[in-house]
Amino acid sequence: MKKTVVITGASAGIGYHAAKSFLEAGYTVYGLSRKAGDLAGVKYISTDLTDEKSVISAFEKIGSEAGAIDILINNAGSGISGAIEFTDLSDAQYQMDVNFFGTVRCIKCALGIMRQKGGKIINISSVAAVFPLPFQAFYSASKSAINALTMSLRNEVGKFGNIQVCAIMPGDVKTGFTSARKKSEAGDEIYGGSISRTIAGMERDEENGMTPEYMGRLIYKIATKGKLKPFYTGGPQYRLLVLLDRLVPKSFVSYVLGKMYIKH
């Protein structure tokens, strides 16, 4: 029987190319997103990850049609930027609802299907979980929460012996995520223009980042491994940075991040 993979945010960017890699390998691919994508062969289901009923309905459909979920890839996400003190809490809460609780909703539904036959849960995090970015605090916090969730879940489901969990942390990737980011420059004059200049610099880095095709193939490669490690970093240059974070004092890491990103 063909194996089944469920990918959130499969209509564009990294999720689209991950879906393409799984299709080429012969998987049945379900794509959960607000709007259906145009990748032929993907079974798209319109899903709002912030709506529990919408998520439950999608997984009930998958369970009835496929009977099993071999791999769940929690890839969908949104981004906001701005100074912490001037960010509307409603925007911060929505950021967490999509990136963190959206992932939680999918995991809760998938586990009930996976428990009997086993499966893998791949959470797409970010290098920003390890290196929290200035003026992207809430995005960084949502990804740090994904890492913590991943570690907790690994131990919780370890007793079943047939469910594996990991998180993949990409660095800068050139996708539509950059233009879709909700940017706020509120308080920019108080910060001497640092908010607008810092975010502009980060977006230039993203535009010159890895391709979504590369990340899609990497996700497929990791997801089909026999045994998953807790964390993987997307991009060789970022692997070195994550390693250094474990070896040097946090005060030094904070200093370097400030020098790298804050544009005065």
Of these residues, 33, 81, 125, 194, which one is catalytic? 125
Of these residues, 143, 220, 238, 261, which one is catalytic? 143
Annotation marks residue 125 as catalytic? yes
Of these residues, 30, 139, 232, 261, which one is catalytic? 139
Residue 176: CB atoms within 10 Å = 11
Of these residues, 11, 21, 33, 126, which one is catalytic? 11
Do 260 and 254 meet the contact criterion of CB atoms below 8 Å apart?
no
Give how far Cα 29 sits from Cα of 3, 24, 50, 147, 246, Å: 9, 10, 22, 25, 37
Annotation marks residue 159 as catalytic? no
User: What one-character DSSP code corresponds to residue 37?
Assistant: -
Burial, 48: exposed, middle or buried (Cβ in 10 Å; 0-12, 13-18, 19+)? Answer: middle
Annotation marks residue 143 as catalytic? yes
Q: 3-state class of 257 per DSSP?
A: helix
Non-local (6+) Cβ contacts of 92 within 8 A are 80, 138
Which residue reads 């080429």 in tokens? Answer: 24
Residue 19 and residue 198: Cα distance in Å, rounded? 33
Annotation marks residue 11 as catalytic? yes
Do 232 and 166 meet the contact criterion of CB atoms below 8 Å apart?
yes
Give how far Cα 92 sits from Cα of 64, 79, 137, 208, Å: 35, 10, 9, 27
| Tokens, residue 70 | 């071999």
Q: Strand pairing partners for 74?
A: 123
Which residues belong to the active site? 11, 125, 139, 143
